[in-house]
Amino acid sequence: MSSWTGNPDDPASKMSSEAVSTGDATRWFDELYKAAAGDASVIPWADLAPNPWLVEWLDREHLVTESSTAVVVGCGLGDDAEELTRRGYDVTAFDISETAIEWAKRRSPDSLVEYRNADLFSLPSPMEGAFDFVFEAYTVQALPESLRAQAIASVASLVAPGGTVLVVARGRDAGEDLGGPPWPISHDELRSFEHAGLLEDRFEDFLDDRRAQPIRRFRVSYVRPA
């Protein structure tokens, strides 16, 4: 559900702000996982359960078929990847944090998921266009505005012809103060998926009231023409 509130005093926000100020906006992810030292409560997006908006969507859509491939972007501790493999997908999951990948493997030692340490901004070429389903939740919103179009293009590059990308993120109106980190995403920013050759399938703008302080979220699916 992601409990990262954006409080400037929390460790994630401090590390993110410091990394962005030095021009290296992604190094802090592994720093945070290392600092957690095995305590998942330190990782604000680690709910130790699959993303409820992914689960709800999968229950509604029933997309999986035999030999369907899926990839989880910024997989963290692996709960979304494990949910997808439970439903029958052949799953790859990657994260820029080597510590997170090692942690995910320890949590699920008999997992069928292929966990990889990989950088969204420098993906191995065999991953391009290799997946029928791509899931991205809370990764792009953790990046500053200057990197978002590039990040979205990289996410889009993963989806195979006829495949689907599902994005879950905090939402905002265009022109609204970004606040953060994390920085909510506007619908206009998400149009970078269309610039990358995908078609918007369904856009959902809703209030996540599973927390004491409700959060505006977007859940958007895109498809690549076959």
- Tell me how far apart the alpha carbons of residues 33 and 51 are, in angstroms, rounded to a whole number: 19
pLDDT of residue 179: 75
What's the pLDDT score for residue 20? 67
Per-block average pLDDT, block size 10, for the chain (226 residues)? 57 69 76 92 90 96 87 97 96 97 97 97 95 96 92 98 97 85 92 97 94 90 97
Give the closest residue to 158 by CA, choosing from 219, 188, 189, 116.
116
Cα three-residue angle 158-208-99, rounded to 5 degrees: 45
Set out the domains of the chain in order of their start, with CATH numbers.
Answer: 48-223 (3.40.50.150)
Q: Which residue has the tokens 């899931």?
A: 135
Closest CA to 139 of 105, 97, 86, 98: 97
Whether the model clears a pTM of 0.85, i.e. scores above it, the answer is yes
DSSP the chain: -------TTSHHHHHHHHHHHTT-TTTHHHHHHHHHTT-GGGSTT--SS--HHHHHHHHHH----TT-EEEEET-TTSHHHHHHHHTT-EEEEEES-HHHHHHHHHH-TT---EEEE-BTTB--GGGTT-EEEEEEESSGGGS-HHHHHHHHHHHHHTEEEEEEEEEEEEEE-TTS---SSS--EEHHHHTHHHHTT-EEEEEEEEEE-SSSS-EEEEEEEEE---
pLDDT of residue 9: 60
- What gap in Å lies between CA 60 and CA 68, rounded to an integer? 17
Determine the pLDDT at residue 19. 62
Rg of the chain (C-alpha set): 16
CA atoms within 13 A on the CB side of 88: 8
pLDDT in the model for residue 1: 43
CB 32 within 8 A of CB 38: no
